[in-house]
Chains A and B, each alone.
Chain A
Amino acid sequence: MTLRVPARAGDFAIALALAGLGLWWAWLSWNLGLGTAAEPGPGFFPFGVALLMAAGAAGCAVRALAHAPEGEKAGPVTIDAEAIKAGALVAALCLAFTGAGFVAAGFAFMALMLSWVSGRSLVRALVTSAIVVGVFWVLFDRLLGIELPWGVAGDLVDALRGQP
């Protein structure tokens, strides 16, 4: 699952993406209204910066084509399987944090990180996750007063208690 991206091609692609972003931002800024040099509008400053960014990124693209990477940087850039899996789990955590609630989302995230990403046994992952999430809930929600979302877990508890 590890991705291997040729250093030169990856560098060029990122530079092109940044250049495109710069040009798109320049277009958005143009639509905001540039005003005049004596009375600059809200789009004046970002328009100039966006063009500079596009120019800088174009320079990066040219550099990627003109300079062959040397030494350690000559090989392909690897994006580890662990990073891809962890990135996907972080996305799921961020999406589920408010909806499913901290306890459910945090427990599932921690357990999957330990078992799926790091290859720890399921029992160890479940026990560790329960302890960590419990400690964090007490520490942050109860002691530090940060109101962590309960989400569906809270609704379930309310339903079991017979509260609306």
Chain B
Amino acid sequence: MDALGYLLAGFQTALTAKNLLLCFQGCLWGTAVGVLPGLGPMAGMALLLPITFTLDPVGGVIMLAGIFYGAMYGGSTTSILLRIPGEAASIVTCIDGHEMARNGRGGAALTIAAVGSFVGGTLSVAGLMLFAPYLADVMLAVGPAAEAVMMAVALLIVTAVSTSPPVKTFTMICAGLLVGSVGLDSLTAKPRFMFGNLALADGVSFVALAIGLFGLSELLMNLRDGVTERPRTPGLRELVPTAQEARESVGPTLRGSAIGFVFGVIPGVSHIVSTFVSYAIEKKLSRTPERFGKGAVAGLAGPETANNATTGSAMIPLLVLGIPAIPSTAILLSALQNHGIQPGPLLLTEHPEVFWGLIASMYVGNAILVVLNLPLVGLFVRLLRTPMAYLAPIVILICAIGVYSVNGSGFDLAVLFVAGWVGYLLRRFDYDIAPALLAIVLGDRLEAGFRRALTISGGDYAIFFKGPAVRIFLGILVAVIVAKLWAARRVGRPPAP
């Protein structure tokens, strides 16, 4: 069967009533958590992760992917109407999106953001569909040494591009690798760091860690925050942009798609970086750069498109290499692993229904989001008015139920509490905890590849510097570090929201 045949089969899977409903639920939940300040895609996906364990692999991943791009999408609503970024990638949207709303063009801004998100998301999925199979063929030839180097390079790239100081991110990655080593050793089956607790035989519960580190710590951070400004809900007529606004958004939307796609493949904070890069490029290309910051359509359309275009390309390293490029896709990786599916080059041949079903569902999901976001903007604005005093305990109860539902274990609840507090304290002191979660997910494969490669080479560490694949990965690392240094010199500080 060729790619087109697989894609058609994927659409048959994605368009079944059950998967369509799951995709819709994921998009709805994702948009809701994207709208709510303090609950980003990571927390939203972590909260619903246990529920996906009861679904079949395709259905579970379709639902989680829906939350992922739904949250990316939903963040724009609060950014435009309230100047509150629902999640980090929407910070740039605040600048010109909110200015448009203040100028009475809030409805048009929402439509431009929605259409840009749809175009960016759809084009990046097309790119994923075209590039992933070829990359998978290349990756099949990679041995354990190159695999270990690839994992290490991915984690080092995260260190290089993190918003926290690199030394802090590096420490967090090491901490994540150590937490990931708890449990029975995958090669010798010897218990490690379990202290006689059999509940740790399979390692520390990833669900409890993810929900604690992101969901619970996020809620503790935001307990005092509340929405003071009451946003006005734009009417349906106000949602239609003028002809000039539509014309001005075409170029930035297409450029944002390309920028988002390229940055989405790079591990780290790609979706955030892509929005800043897109904004800087649009301002540079504009004939009227003085309008930026005062409601320029290009300043909204470009970054918002780039933000959503990363969702498709971020799936390439996840599905083809088994490496989550951004923390949200680490949750997807965990969901697949829980179903006994290891993402990597063999995914396309061993589980084509998962790969192509997911791709088809992303096309469907992007369409659902456009239909969902614009008419229901009033509903999401009302949701935004929910006081944190009520929202926080309700979400914490859902966290506890979610963690308990996986193993029925009180110990996992203790992990949830400890992870929540540790996450809260570390974040208060400027430690980025997302890389730790990536390290927990990748640690097992990194260690297995490292030890196997050393055994094959008879203890010769030079094996980690030999072969074309290793050199390519090291070259990518050098290129990212050089690009980061270059960008820091050229762009300077990112624009203030």
Contacts and interface: CB of A to CB of B under 8 A. Distances in A.
Nearest to A146: B405
Contacts of B87: none
Given A38-B455, A53-B175, A14 B426 contact: yes
B465 to A, nearest CB: 15
Contacts of B455: 38-40
B177 interface: yes
Contact of A94 (B413, B426, B451, B459): B413
Contact of B171 (A43, A56, A110): A56
Given A38-B455, A40-B451, A132-B394, A56 B174 contact: yes
B420 A90 contact: yes
B68 interface: no
Nearest to B186: A42
Interface string B379-407: 00000000101101110111011001100
A63 interface: yes
Contacts of B190: 32, 42
Nearest to A62: B167
B454 interface: yes
A59 B224 contact: no
A44 interface: yes
A11 B429 contact: yes
A90 B181 contact: no
Contact of A97 (B220, B224, B413): B413
Nearest to A15: B171
B216 A52 contact: no
Contacts of B178: 22, 25, 46, 49-50, 53
Contact of A46 (B181, B393, B410): B181
A147 B408 contact: yes
B461 interface: yes
A93 interface: yes
Contacts of B167: 56, 59-60, 63
A49 B397 CA distance: 35
A45 B397 contact: no
A134 interface: no
Interface in A32-83: 32, 36-46, 49-50, 52-53, 56-57, 59-60, 63, 73, 77, 79-80, 82-83
Interface of A: 7, 10-11, 14-15, 18, 21-22, 25, 28, 32, 36-46, 49-50, 52-53, 56-57, 59-60, 63, 73, 77, 79-80, 82-83, 86-87, 90-91, 93-95, 97-99, 102, 106, 109-110, 113-114, 117-118, 120, 128, 132-133, 136, 140, 144-149
Given A77-B429, A91-B417, A136-B401, 16 more contacts: A37-B454, A38-B454, A40-B455, A42-B192, A46-B178, A60-B171, A82-B224, A83-B220, A90-B417, A90-B420, A93-B397, A94-B414, A109-B393, A109-B397, A113-B389, A145-B54
